[in-house]
Amino acid sequence: MPLLIAFDLLDRQIVDRNDVPVGKVDDVELSDDGRYVTALLTGQRALGARFGGLLGRWITDTATRLDIDRLGPRRIEYDMVARVDSAVHLSVRRELLMPPALEAWLDEHVIGRIPGASDAG
């Protein structure tokens, strides 16, 4: 069955092999000649670019400011996609991917410092 990029991929939840959320498919990267799908892009920078206008610029700017290491939106190689159903399932664990800048920062500076942050609920 054919895959529809806007319908089947865009805005769908990406989960790792243990079903832990990784991010949304905020955009899809195509090869330079536009023939092949090469990667999924996730993160507010990719999302803001899709919004356009003032709101989009604001989202992108905020996300850029939080991205201290200037890594750009997170790229997930399309090779890592195991299957697509109600979510996009990856064949790897979340820990193997680069953590989102905001999550890493909050974990290190706020949440990780509160007692009990490492206990499962």
Partner 1 sequence: MRASDLLGERAVDGSGRDLGRIVDLVCETDADGRPELVAVLAVRGPWGRLLGYEREQVRGPWIVETLARWILRRQMTTVPWRSLRWGS
Partner 2 sequence: MKRLLAVTLGILTAIGGFVDIGDIVSTSEAGSRFGLAHTWVLVVGIIGICVYAEMSGRVTAVSTRPVFDLIRERLGPRVALMNLLGSYLITLLTLAAEIGGVALALQLLSGAPYLLWAPVVAIVLWLVLWRVKFETLERAFGLAGLALVVLVLAIFRLHPDVASLRTQATTFRPPRGENWPTYSFMAIALFASAMTPYEVFFFSSGGVEERWTPRELTISRVNVFLGFPLGGLLAFGFLATSAIVFQPIGLDVSSLGQAALPAGMAFGTVGLGLVILGVFAATFGAAMETSLSAGYTVAQYFGWSWGKLLRPRQAARFHIVVLVSILLAVAALLTTIDPIQLTEYMLIFSAIVLPLTYLPILVIANDRGYLGEKVNGPFANALGLIYLVIIVTAAVAAVPIMIFTGMGG
Q: Which positions lie near partner 2, rule CB under 8 A?
A: 11-14, 19-24, 26, 42, 44, 47, 50-51, 85-87, 94, 100, 102-103, 106-107, 110-112, 114, 116-121
- Please, what is the minimum distance in Å from the beta carbon of residue 45 to partner 1? 12
Residues near partner 1 (CB under 8 A), total: 23
Distance, in Å, from the CA atom of 113 to the CA atom of 3, rounded to the nearest integer, reads: 44
Edge-first strand listing for the sheet containing 81-84: 21-24, 13-15, 88-90, 81-84
Out of 20, 36, 68, 91, the only residue in the binding site for partner 1 (CB under 8 A) is 36
- Chain centroid offset of residue 40 CA: 8
From partner 2, partner 1, none, interface partner of 30 (C-beta below 5 to 8 A by class): partner 1
Q: Does 30 engage in binding with partner 1 (CB under 8 A)?
A: yes
Distance, in Å, from the CA atom of 60 to the CA atom of 112, rounded to the nearest integer, reads: 26
Which residue's structure tokens are 């953590």?
A: 99
Out of 15, 49, 66, 92, the only residue in the binding site for partner 1 (CB under 8 A) is 49
Q: Residue 83's beta-bridge partner residues? A: 89
Whether the CA torsion 110, 13, 15, 52 is positive or negative: it is negative
Out of 66, 78, 92, 94, the only residue in the binding site for partner 1 (CB under 8 A) is 78
List of residues contacting partner 1 (CB under 8 A): 2-7, 9-10, 27-32, 34-37, 41, 46, 49-50, 78
